[in-house]
Structure formats: C-alpha cells, structure tokens
Homo-oligomer: A and B are copies of this chain.
C-alpha cells in the first residue's frame, strides 16, 4: 500500500505537522509506503515527487511552511486542456499510489472531491485555511498562529499609540471572512473591529475613535483586508500607475487611516501585518490540531474511505464529505460580531 501526499494553496503553519503525523502513523502502524508530490496538484500533474519517510519527517513538527512545497495549480485549468485528470491518474499509476491525501483549502479540496466523486480516484482531504473560513470544521490549523501573531502586534501597537495619542489601524488577513480580525481584535483589546461580512460606516468608525480619545486613550482599529465601507468611493487597488508603470497597491488599512485623519483631525498610522501572519512555527494548538488531523486522515485511508475530509468538532476529530465542507464559506455570524460591539469606542 502506497499513499501519496500533497499540500496546495497558500502556506500555513501546521502543514508539516500534518505530513509528519500521516507518515509516522502510516509507516509504524499500518506499514505503508509514501510518496510526496511537490507543489500541490503540480506534483501529480507533472510527475514531480519528493521522498517521504520517517527520517524525512523528523524534526519538521515545529517548522512553518511545507516540505512538499505548494502552488495554486489546478488540473481543471485551461492550461491542462482537459488532460488534467488523465495526467494525475497516470502519475498515480506510475508511482503505484493507492490513495492520495490532499491537504489544502477550498480549491485543493474541491479538486480532490471531484477526483474522488466523479473519477473514482481515492482521495482523503485535510482542511487548511489560515482564514478559518472552511465550513464543517470548528477551526483549521494556522488560524490560531495567525491570531496569536496579530494579537502580539496589537499589544505592541497599544503602547506606541498611547505615547503619541494617535490612531493605529492594523490591517490583518481575511479577504472574505473576518475571523482573524475578530479574534485578534478581541484578544488585543481593539477599539474598533471591521470585517468583510459587514460593510462599515466610516462616520461610525470616526465616532468610536473620537470617543476613545475623549476617555484619554488612543484607539486601535483592527480591519480585515477584505473589509470595505458601506458607502463612498474607496478604491482599494486603483489603476493609477507609478513611474515604472506598476499598478499601485493600497489596502483598506491605508485608506481608512487617511479617512480617519481627514475626518477627525487626529494623526493616524497604518500597519499591514501581511505575510508574517502565515509563516513561522505553529502555535501549540495548531501543532496539536494538525497532528490529530494527520493521524485521522491516515486512519481514513486505512479504512478505505474516499471523498471525505477530517474536521474538528468540539474536541473530536470527525469525518465529513469534502463536497459538503467546500460548498460554502464559513463567515462570521452577525450575532457573534455584535457580541464584540460592547468593546467598540
């Protein structure tokens, strides 16, 4: 029995912990052999592999990123001209792969669901999204690490905001869902939290900012990169070009800081946390979750199931159809967001 493993999509702390757990249990408990495919679906599509064994996975538990590399390659893209599935099937045959464990987000898992459900290729999924926006699982690994990093940054920004009595706008990850903003904003004691799920009223934001200053404190505004104002012409990434012809990038954080300055007359600064949120060693919680996901994924392979992914429910690891988990985005519930409102202003 030989099992293939691949990691797709954006990298995420905990990927290596999943790989290690899969290999460790697969070899020791079930006597399996393993083949790693490089860079997500590119691996089986192009036939690029990496050896995978217990010595290879030693010491990778605390390391961020993925030893298998990652990419956003999709076998159903035009690039593969309808030959994607055939190429994957050929690769699996070439390497003698009996089952494939795919670790990834919506896209990577979506492919796995199709391969399993429509083409009968045995696939087991492990959900991965730093944004925590996959349905069916309470949390995904990487999220806790990202929230921890964002919270630590907010802690640091409080003191610099207070010393100069200025507004600090912190832009965190979250294009479609505000989980990182909500959790880190609450944990960091932010005075305003803005999420993509609910368009914000810039006047209201400015009122919260002003009210905070009235109490002689300096406000911290946490904004998810995907948040947007309810009205008005925010142009996040406009088409003005600089002297080199590069398209200019300007995120909501920068935009909002300028608006706050303009409307309140208070000095405002932006910090865009960016890629530091997704790199580096996973938190203890994420290592634990990733490890358990890996152990349960190889158990699923052992039991011969396909088209399912592992998921966290409370403290249990469960299985559910991949297609169900990828059917819709898990966004922040309005009631949950409202709960945080007591800390605004």
Contact = CB atoms under 8 A, between A and B. Distances in A.
A28 interface: yes
Contacts of A28: 342
Nearest to A148: B284
B159 A63 contact: yes
Contact of A163 (B70, B238, B243, B295): B70
Given A24-B342, A285-B144, A164 B276 contact: no
Interface in A239-283: 240, 242-244, 246, 248-250, 254-255, 258-259, 262, 269-276, 278-281, 283
Nearest to A139: B315
B62 A155 contact: yes
A291 B164 contact: no
Copies in the complex: 4
B189 A61 contact: yes
B156 A64 contact: yes
Contacts of A248: 240, 242, 248, 250
Interface residues of A, number: 90
A197 to B, nearest CB: 16
Contact of A276 (B148, B156, B259): B156
B342 A29 contact: yes
A137 to B, nearest CB: 10
B163 A65 contact: yes
A319 interface: no
Contacts of A342: 24-25, 28-29, 295
A234 to B, nearest CB: 8
A50 interface: no
Nearest to A271: B274
B275 A269 contact: yes
Nearest to A313: B314
24 contacts: A11-B160, A13-B159, A15-B163, A28-B342, A62-B155, A69-B163, A147-B285, A148-B283, A150-B284, A151-B287, A155-B279, A156-B279, A156-B281, A159-B279, A183-B284, A184-B284, A187-B284, A187-B287, A240-B242, A244-B259, A248-B248, A248-B250, A270-B274, A292-B339
The 7 closest A-B pairs by CB, nearest first: A156-B280, A64-B159, A65-B159, A156-B279, A11-B163, A160-B279, A65-B163
